[in-house]
Structure 1
Amino acid sequence: MDTLVNLQAFLATADAAGFSAAARKLKVSTSVVAKRVTQLEDQIGIALFHRSTRQLRLTEAGQQYVHRARGVVADVGDLLSRMGEKDHDLIDHLRIKAPTSLTIARLADVFSAFQTENPRLKLEVVLIDRPVDPVTEGFDVAIGAFPHSFGGVVDEPLCALKRLLCAAPAYLKSHGMPRHPRDLVEHRCLSFLPTGPEWIFDGPRGRITIQVRPLLNSNEGHVLVKSAIAGNGIAFISHYLAADALRDGSLQVVLPEFPIPDVWVKATIPERRVNAAAVQALLQQLKRALSPTL
């Protein structure tokens, strides 16, 4: 178990940016923490920290291995908790990548409820609006709706994501209602930055791809909704973000006869973490909260 306690000392030191703070967290002396980190460095033959009289910071190797070390320690904790079945509590550290708009609108409540139900579980939620390989970037769960695939991972579908075009009635009265997707090139368009300016539709004769010139790009969907309600243009947006405005008439659907293909929100998990009790519990909570369609 020396390697495990040395890894725990390394992680505590990295989190606290110092031996003394790590020692307080681990309830041991500062010299013990420093000795454990040194033993780990000697074992692997690599310096994990730059040491000076004023600060302690991770080396490039330390930055590279800190997330992998966290996964190893979490795996051991998960194994021990499963073997002991002590109170059936989940004890783990989950590092989660999640998209900004979806987290603000829905997932923040899911994560909060999940941690309330599992008070011994530590969560680290990072909002990123790009494809992420959880293996190389050190995540236990990466949530997103991009079609990218990676090696050494398992993809778990969570729900279908419905998208549409919408605009304020005042904008459509002033600028006219487009009749075909190609008309959009003459309109003021509000685009979701991760999706890009290439908008795709399903038409009666097949798929249609249009390259628009956005007036506004944003990676946060609420910004697009607010701008559309203000009459600034036609927004390409997820249905769940525009639903309230569609109900009260602040926005109306544009080109409903040319639907935008749904995409799937999925959770991407490193193979070595997919059977961890905390990961499986989180997946079930996400599926309950999101399915069947956003």
Structure 2
Amino acid sequence: MDGLLVLRAFLATAHHGSFSAAARQAGVVPSVIAKRVDQLEWRLGRRLFHRSTRAVRLTEFGRAALSRIQRIVGEFDHLVETAAERRPALQGRIRVKAPTSLTILHLGEMLGGFQRAHPGIDLDVCVMDRPANPLEEGFDIAIGSAPVLHPGIVEVPLCPLRRVVCAAPDYLRRRGVPRHPRDLATHDCLNFSPTGTQWSFDGGKGPIIVDIQAKLNANDLQVLLAAARRGNGIAMLSRYVAASSLEAGELVPVLPEFPISEMWIKALVPEARLGVPRVRALLEWLQTALSPVPPWDRDSPERRAGVRANAEAGIGAERKPDRRSRKLRTEPAPRRVLAGASGRGGAAALTQAATACRPARLRRGRHPHPLDPDQGPSTDG
């Protein structure tokens, strides 16, 4: 499907007038979109876009090619839809492990929507915050953010896990506003205990790691959210937990100029289960629901500011993701790639691509954590 990725990159760039906006729609970095467009131009032997620092514009040849490429991609999407309508209805049980806060706030609704769309599916959802090895514990899908080190487990990226350091305005009035991550050492911090008492930031020239003083340790993000809203200290929370409180002004970001180390929400799937149609269907459903931007970030102040900036630059508004064809994303993220392949041999291609694109130290985990059936921090972080 590489040819289709190239054509879709061209269409998205033509629509948005920007590699960056096209990349946001596809859930990849701008350089990936630019490379795909370069590949198409090389194959055609003609320039499709005039490039500038502010935007890209179609050339005369690009305008002529646009309608033909739209027709090609549209006919393929129609073929996929027609084939999907003729497939037998999905049936059977899917066992899912999911983090507490994420499930209560968002995943529960998504899983309910999937079940309404597929009445023949029974769901067995286990809500817990500790890491789980789905192969050993009998889960079809384990959702979380912990790394994979076990053999036979494939990592399916769902969406970025953005975190924010925040506090109530009352606390900051009483204790002052930290100007640098090192200042946190003198503040009351509200800590997610499974991740330890070190908070890591990107200082531009390298990571800044701070040993915080935990006024409160808790293994549930909702407990930390409640304490932060009451002015008890500074918390590092997942955006999906803090979004509504930030929007309401009950919490304000602290140290926004120091990005927090990146994490991803992902599904851990036993390799043998990737070929099961009902499991693949749920993975595709979750990827569609959570990308290119997860629901808790779609109306964030940062995103609204980006939309305003695009409008001022003459770049079109982003389109909503096309939900007509739910296919496992082939390049969902800058760091982790999952290849989906429809039809016969799809699971094998999926596994091969996921393995090839995973960082070498994470491939087919051979170093299980000595103390836990799974490894790494809790998946609710």
Hey, what does 2:164 align to over in structure 1? 164
Matched, 1:244 2:213: no
1:14-163 to 2 correspondences below 5 Å: 88-163=88-163
Residue of structure 2 equivalent to 1:30: none
Contact 1:164 1:260 (C-alpha < 8 Å) held by counterparts = yes
Q: Which amino acid aligns with 1:95?
A: R
**CA separation of 1:291 and 1:149: change in aligned 2, threshold 3 A:** farther
**8 Å contact from structure 1 (residues 131, 148) kept in 2:** no
**In angstroms, what is the RMSD of aligned CA positions?**
1.7
Where has structure 1 moved over 4 Å in runs of 4 or more? none
User: Is the 2:162–2:238 contact (alpha carbons within 8 Å) kept by the matching residues of 1?
Assistant: yes
| SS across alignment from 1:93 | strand
What is the deviation of 1:283?
0.6
Between the aligned partners of 1:179 and 1:255, the Cα distance in structure 2 is: 6
What is the CA distance between 1:222 and its match in structure 2? 2.2
Indicate yes or no: 2:208 matched with 1:208: yes
Q: Whose strand proportion is higher, 1 or 2?
A: 1
Match of 1:64 in 2: none
CA contact (8 A) 2:148 2:155 kept: no
Query: Which residue in 1 is equivalent to 2:257?
Result: 257
Whole-Å separation in 2 of the counterparts to 1:282 and 1:99: 17
User: Please, which runs of 5 or more residues in structure 2 have no aligned partner?
Assistant: 1-84, 295-381
Matched residues in 2 for 1:100 and 1:193: separation? 15
Q: CA deviation at 1:168?
A: 0.6
Distance in structure 1 (CA, Å) of the matches to 2:142 and 2:260: 24
Q: Give the CA deviation at 1:187.
A: 0.8
3-state DSSP class of the match of 1:259?
coil
Structure 1: how far apart are the matches of 2:97 and 2:257?
A: 35
Distance in structure 1 (CA, Å) of the matches to 2:276 and 2:193: 34
Shift of 1:223: 2.0
The CA deviation string for residues 44-86 of structure 1, in whole angstroms up to 9 with x for no partner, is xxxxxxxxxxxxxxxxxxxxxxxxxxxxxxxxxxxxxxxxx99
Of structures 1 and 2, the larger Rg is shown by 1
Contact 2:92/2:121 (CA < 8 Å) preserved in 1? Answer: yes
Alpha-carbon distance in structure 2 between the residues aligned to 1:102 and 1:173: 31
* Unaligned stretches of 5+ residues in structure 1: 1-84
Native 8 Å contact 1:161 1:293 kept in 2: no
- d(CA) in 1 for partners of 2:87, 2:205: 59
| Higher RCO (Cα < 8 Å, 6 or more apart) | 2
Note the C-alpha offset of 1:220. 2.3
After TM superposition, give the deviation of residue 177 of structure 1 in Å: 0.7
- CA distance, structure 1, for counterparts of residue 105 and residue 181 of structure 2: 28
Partner of 1:41: none
The one-letter code sitting in structure 1 at the alignment partner of 2:93 is H
Contact between 1:100 and 1:129, CA under 8 Å: does it hold in 2?
A: yes
Taking the aligned partners of 1:103 and 1:155, their CA distance within structure 2 comes to 19
Q: Write out per-residue CA displacement over residues 21-43 of structure 1, whole angstroms, 9 at most, x where no aligned residue.
A: xxxxxxxxxxxxxxxxxxxxxxx
Residues in 2 aligned to 1:280 and 1:194: alpha-carbon distance in whole angstroms:
30
Q: In 2, distance between residues paired with 1:274 and 1:99?
A: 21
Q: Is the 8 A contact 1:129 1:194 kept in 2?
A: no
Structure-2 separation of matches of 1:192 and 1:285: 29
Secondary structure (helix, strand or coil) at the match of 2:95 reads strand
Report the 3-state secondary structure (helix = DSSP H, G, I; strand = E; otherwise coil) of the residue aligned with 2:97: strand
For 1:268, the aligned partner's letter is: L
How has the CA–CA distance of structure 1 residues 205 and 87 changed in structure 2, closer, same or farther, with 3 Å as cutoff? closer
Q: How many residues align?
A: 210
Contact kept in structure 1, 2:178 and 2:184, CA below 8 Å: yes
Match of 2:12 in 1: none
Contact 1:154 1:271 in 2 (8 A): yes
Q: 1:244 to 1:130 in 2, by over 3 A?
A: same
Q: Measure, in 1, the Cα distance between the counterparts of 2:291 and 2:225.
A: 23
Q: In structure 1, what is the Cα distance between the partners aligned to 2:254 and 2:242? A: 12
Counterpart Cα distance in 2 of 1:101 and 1:194: 15
Distance in structure 2 (CA, Å) of the matches to 1:167 and 1:287: 31
SS at match of 1:194: helix
Where in structure 2 are the equivalents of 1:262-273 lying within 5 Å?
A: 262-273=262-273
| CA–CA separation in structure 2 for the residues paired with 1:194 and 1:279 | 29
Partner of 2:25: none
Asked whether the equivalents of residues 134 and 142 of structure 1 are also in contact (C-alpha less than 8 Å), the reply is: yes
